[in-house]
Structure 1
Amino acid sequence: MTALRDRYRRRAPGEPRAIGYLYVLPALALYGVFLLYPFGQSVWLSLLHWDGLTRATWAGFGNYADLFTDPSLRAPFVHALVLLLFYAALPVAIGLLLAAVMSRIRVKGMTFFRTVLFLPQVLAMVVVGVAWRSILAPDGLLNDTLKAVGLGSLTRAWLGDYDWALPAVGAVGTWVETGLCMVLFLAGTQRIPRELYEAARIDGAGAIREFFSVTLPGLRAETAVALTLTIVAGLRNFDLIYITTSGGPGNSTSVPAYEVYHRAFETNQVGSAAAVGVALTVLIFALTVTVSRLVEGRRS
C-alpha cells in the first residue's frame, strides 16, 4: 500500500489520477445508458427481419445489402447527399462572403442584420416547415410574387413537383443554416490580427486576394465547425421533410431519417429501419471525421 502511494506521489503534476475517472463516471454512465446501449440495440435489430409485433427471424447482413440493391433505399441516401449542397456548401460559402464583406465595410444596423439572419436558428423546425409550406404552396406567397412581377410562367407547385421538390426543401435548409455560419465567421474574423490585413493592403492586395490570403486561412477552425454542424443538420433532417413533403411526391424527397420513421412505424419493417439508422450514423461519423482530419492536416 505504501509503495502504491509513493508511486502516485512521484507522478508529474497534471498527470491523470485514478480519482479523475470518478468525476467522469456519471457522464459516462448516462452516455452508455442513453446512447451506446440504444445504438447497440439498433445494430442488433438491423440483423433481424421483424415487424415489431411477431417473432423476429434472422436476416444477417441482408438488410444492409438491401441498402445497395434496393432503389427505394438507395434514393434517400442520394437525396441526403444532394441536400448537403444546400445545407452545408451554400451556407458556408454565403456565410464566408457575408463575414468578409461585413468585416471590411462598416454596415449600419449590423446588430439587427445579424439578428435577422440568425433568427431561423432560434425557430423550431416545425414552425419553419409550416411557414415555408405555406409560402411554397401553389397559391402561396412565392407564386403570388412571381405573378406580380410578370414571371407567372415560373410558378409551379414547388413541393409537389418531382424535379423541384428536393431543391425547394434544400433552399429552406440554406435559409436556416446561413445565419449560423455567418455568426461563426463574424466571430472568427474578430480574432484575426488587423496587422495582417494592413500588411496585405501595403503589399497591394485587393479585396479578393485579401480574402483568400488572410480571411480564409484565419477562419479555418470556424469553417470546420460550420461544416460539421451543417453536415450533421443536413443528414439528420427529418422534421422539415415530414412537415413539408412527407417524402413526396413519390419518394423524390425521402431522406434516411424520414425513411427510418416510414419503415419502422408505417410499413412495419423494423429491421430495415434499424439498418438505415445505423448506416446513417456511420455516414455522419465518417463525414465529420473526414472534415476534421482535412482541417487538421492543413494546419500541420
Structure 2
Amino acid sequence: MNNTRTRPAPALHTTRGRGRWRGYLYVLPALAVYLAFAVLPALHTAYLSFFDWDGVTLGEWVGLDNYREILLEDPVLRRSVLNALVLVAFFSLLPIAFGLAMTGLLARHRRPGMGAYRFLFMLPQVVPLVAVGVTWRWLYGDDGLVNQTFRAVGLDGVTRAWLGDFDAALVAVGLVGTWVLSGLCMMLFLSGVQKVDPSLYEAARLDGAGPVREFVSVTLPHLRGEVAVAMTVTLVAALASFDIVYVTTNGGPGEQTTVPGLLVYRLAFSDGRVGLAAALAVVLSCLILVLVYAVNRLSRPERAE
C-alpha cells in the first residue's frame, strides 16, 4: 500500500500574491532612481521656494513672499509666463496643424521616397538645439537668408533685424520652434496612420468622400491618441523652452522674449536669488501639469453609455 502523501496544490491567491510582489521587486531599482533624481530634487526645489537664499549664506524663511512677487508684484516675471503661453501657439498648435496637414497628404496614397521625407522632417530633432539657435540667428540677421529672400522678391520694406525688433522677436523665435517640432508631430501622426484599416479608406472613397472628408472622417479619429501625445510633448517644450531663446535672443530685446526657463537660470546663477528662482520653477511646473492634465482629459475616448 502506497503511503506517499501528495502535497496540496498552493492556493491560487497565494501564487498570485507572490507574483505580484515579485513584480514589485523588479521595478524597485527604477523607482529608486526616479525618486533620487526626480521626486526628491523637485521636493527640495519646492522647499527652497519658501526662502530668501543667495545660494551661499544661510537662507531666511519668507513663506509665500516669492510666490506673491511672481504673481502680483514683478511685471517681468508675469511677462515671462505670458511669453511662454504665446510660444505655445508656435511650439504646439502650429506644428500639430502642419503635421496633420502633411499626414493627410502623404497617408492617402503610398508614395515613393517616404524614407527621405521622414529623414528631412526629423532632421531638426537630431541637430542640437544650440546649433539650431545659432543657425537661425544667422538666418534672421541683417544680411541673412530671410532678408535676402525678401529683397530678392522686391519686399525691401519688410526686412528688419528680426531678433532685435520689439514686435517681431517673439514671433521669430516661435517660428524656430515650429520648424523644430513639426517633423516630430508629423512622424507621430504617420506612425498612427499605419494602424488604420485600409478598407476604411476604400469604403470612404466608394461613398464618394474626397480627400478632406476622408481625412476628417477616417484618419483624424484614429489619431486621437497621437494628437494627445504630440500636444503633451510640444506643450512641455513651449513652456520649458530655454535653449533656443538663450542662444538666439537671450530674452531680448528688452524683455520681449524672456521666458520662465531663462529667468530661472538668471535668478539662480546670475542674480543670486535662488529662492525666487525655485518659486518660479514651481509655478512653471504647476502650469505644465495643469495643461497636460487638461489635454489628457480631453483626449480620453468617450465611454459608451
Instruction: Work out whether the TM-score is over 0.5.
Output: yes
Residues in 2 aligned to 1:156 and 1:12: alpha-carbon distance in whole angstroms: 74
Q: Does 1:57 align with 2:60?
A: yes
Aligned positions, number:
295
Percent identical pairs in the alignment equals 50
Instruction: Give the unaligned 5+ runs of structure 2.
Output: 1-7
Find the counterpart in structure 1 of residue 3 from structure 2: none
2: CA distance, partners of 1:110 / 1:26: 40
Counterpart position of 2:248? 244
What is the one-letter code of the residue matched to 1:46?
S
* Alignment partner, residue 163 of structure 1: 167
User: 1:292: how far off?
Assistant: 1.2
**Can you list the C-alpha shifts for 1:71-97, whole angstroms capped at 9, x where unaligned?**
111111111111010111010011001
Structure 2 CA distance, aligned partners of 1:237 and 1:299? 36
1:224 aligns with 2:228: yes
Residue 101 in 1 paired to residue 105 in 2?
yes
Report the CA distance between 1:10 and its aligned residue.
Answer: 2.6
Q: Please give the per-residue CA displacement for 1:6-29, whole angstroms capped at 9, x wherever unaligned.
A: 9x8332876652232221111111
Q: Which residue of 2 aligns with 1:111?
A: 115
Aligned to 1:45: 48
Instruction: Please list the CA deviations of residues 262-300 of structure 1 after superposition, one character each: whole Å capped at 9, or x if unmatched.
Output: 111111111110011111111112211211111114466
Task: Provide the rounded CA distance (Å) in 2 between the counterparts of 1:71 and 1:272.
Answer: 14
CA distance in 2, matches of 1:118, 1:73: 34
Deviation track 1:223-250 (CA, whole Å, cap 9, x = no partner) reads 1111111111111110111100001111
In the other structure, the counterpart of 2:216 is 212
TM-score (norm 2): 0.92
Q: What pairs with 1:54-133 in structure 2 (closer than 5 Å)?
A: 54-69=57-72, 70-133=74-137
Deviation for aligned residue 1:117 = 1.1
Structure 1 portions without partners, runs of 5+: 1-5
- Deviation at 1:57? 1.1
Alignment of 1:157-196 (within 5 A): 157-196=161-200
Shift of 1:170: 0.4
Rounded to whole Å, the distance in 1 between the matches of 2:97 and 2:16 is 42
Q: Deviations over 1:84-135 (max 9, x none)?
A: 1011101001100101111114444322122111100011001101100111
Distance 2:14 2:86 in 1: 51
- Distance in 2 (CA, whole Å) between partners of 1:47 and 1:148 is 56
Instruction: Please state if 1:144 is matched with 2:148.
Output: yes
Q: Who is 1:284 aligned against?
A: 288
Q: Which residue of 2 aligns with 1:11?
A: 13
1:213 maps to amino acid: S
Q: What SS does structure 2 have at the residue aligned with 1:11?
A: helix
What's the C-alpha RMSD, in Å, of the aligned pairs? 1.8
Of 13, 28, 32, which residue of structure 2 is paired with 1:25? 28
Once residues 178 and 109 of structure 2 are traced to their aligned partners in structure 1, the CA distance between those partners, rounded to angstroms, is 24
- For 1:191 and 1:10, locate their aligned partners in 2 and report how far apart those are by CA, in whole Å: 38
Question: Could you tell me how far apart the structure 2 residues matched to 1:14 and 1:100 are?
Answer: 47
Moved more, 36-45 or 10-19: 10-19
Distance 1:182 1:14, change over 3 A: farther
Over 3 Å counting, the alpha-carbon distance change for 1:95 and 1:14 in structure 2 is farther
Write out the 4+ residue segments of structure 1 that deviate beyond 6 Å after TM superposition.
none
Comparing 199-208 with 71-80, greater Cα deviation is found at 199-208
